[in-house]
Amino acid sequence: MTNVSVAPATEISLHFSLSIIDGDEVDSTFGGKPATFVFGDGSLLPSVEAKLLGLTAGAKETFTLAPEDGFGQRNPANIQRFPRSQFSADMVLEEGLVISFADAARAEVPGVVSEVGDEDVMVDFNHPLAGRNLSFRVEILSVSAQADAK
C-alpha cells in the first residue's frame, strides 16, 4: 500500500497547536481528539493548507505564519468609537470585554472594548490574532483518498 500524501480532496487527520510567536498557545488538539477534514474544505487557512501539501502520515512539522498568512494585519479602520449611551447603563464596560454586535446583514460580529472614556467607548473589531506572527505545529496522523469524492 502506498503512503498517500496531502493533496486536494484527501482526508487528513492531524494534531495541531497554534501559538503566538514568543507567546501563549492559542489552540491545540494535542492531548485530545485530532482534527479531521478534507483538504480544501475551508477548515484551515489556504496558506496553512499549502504548507501541508505533500506531507504523509507520521510527518511532524512546525511552520511560522506571518500575519499575511494568518489573520492579516491589524486595520485601524476596524476600531470604532461608540457613544457610551449606546450601551446599557448597567453594563460594566472595561478593556478586554468582548461584546457581540450585529452587522448590516444582522450577522454576529464580536468586538473587544479597547478603551473606555466618560463619553465614548472604543471597540476593536480586528481578529484577536491579526498582526501577530504565529507558530503552527502539526503532526499528520493519517491521509487518505476521499472515498466519496464528488
Q: Which three cell numbers stand for residue 92?
A: 460594566
Quick one: 30 and 47 in the same domain? yes
Q: How many domains does the chain have?
A: 2
Quick one: 140 and 118 in the same domain? no
Quick one: 49 and 87 in the same domain? no
pTM of structure = 0.76
pLDDT exceeds 50 at position 149: no
Q: Which three cell numbers stand for residue 100?
A: 457581540
Quick one: 66 and 15 in the same domain? yes
Quick one: 85 and 104 in the same domain? yes
Specify the CATH number for the domain of residue 31: 3.10.50.40
Quick one: 60 and 110 in the same domain? no
Quick one: 24 and 63 in the same domain? yes
The percentage of the chain sitting over the pLDDT mark of 90, rounded to a whole number, equals 79
Asked if the structure places residue 106 within a domain, the reply is: yes
Asked if the structure places residue 150 within a domain, the reply is: no
Quick one: 84 and 112 in the same domain? yes
- 6-16: pLDDT as tens digits: 999 999 999 99
Q: In terms of residue numbers, what domain contains 134?
A: 10-71+130-145
> Which position has the grid cell 485530545?
32
Amino acid (1-letter code) at residue 131: G
The whole-number pLDDT of residue 2 equals 58
Mean pLDDT score of the chain: 92
Question: 49: pLDDT confidence band, cut at 50, 70 and 90?
Answer: very high
Quick one: 64 and 134 in the same domain? yes
Q: Which three cell numbers stand for residue 11?
A: 482526508
Asked if the structure places residue 141 within a domain, the reply is: yes
Tell me the three state secondary structure of residue 76.
helix
Tell me the three state secondary structure of residue 113.
strand
Q: Which three cell numbers stand for residue 8?
A: 486536494
- 84-114: pLDDT as tens digits: 999 998 999 999 999 998 888 888 889 999 9
